[in-house]
Amino acid sequence: MVRLSPLLALLCLGCVADQPESAQTASAFEVPLPTQTDKSDFLALLRSEAEAQGYHVDAASEDELEGVSRVSPLTFNASIWRGNDEESMASAMDGVGHPGRVWIAFPKGENSQRSAEFRGSLIPKIRHRWPETASLPIMPSGAIPLVDDLVRTPSGYEVKASEAHKYQAEAQH
């Protein structure tokens, strides 16, 4: 069964909430997964990389996705965990505003070097298989802006100039 905490955290990426520094987002990417084959391949890659590090993946089943989708459309939801769900290493899901475009977010982690090494191993493999993968901006609070506030650029996503004031105010608090 998939833990709901990463799901809720990703659903509220544009929200600001106090959280331990280790849980704050260090980096995030959007991976285009328009087909079921893409989603299956992505999940297989996550599992392979997780197992190579001694981690494991919890992924939502079709029935679980269908149930959650009654509230908010969702076609992919998986989390990579260290230990017995002791520490989230990454969470990946699509949803309202970006169906078929999975956002994978990596927390800073309890051990920042371990977390960085895992990201450093996984992201190049994702980009190799899905070259349209784009980085997502991380706000000072550690949140990812709302999908409607983002614009795609050649180097990844940026906050739209017309929406930047929302996130500048956040930095001042």
What is the Cα–Cα distance from 23 to 107, expressed in whole angstroms? 5
Average pLDDT, the chain: 86
Predicted pLDDT of residue 120: 96
Give yes or no for residue 1 having a pLDDT over 70.
no
Residue 93: CB atoms within 10 A of its CB come to: 25
Kindly report, residue by residue over 6-47, the tens digit of the pLDDT.
444 444 444 445 678 888 899 999 999 999 999 999 999 999
Predicted pLDDT of residue 171: 52
Architecture in CATH for domain 4-11+21-136: 2-Layer Sandwich (3.30)
| Biggest CA pair distance of the chain | 44
Residue span(s) of the chain under CATH 3.30.160.110 come to: 4-11+21-136
Predicted pLDDT of residue 28: 97
Best CA proximity match to 105, nearest among 119, 116, 118, 90? 90
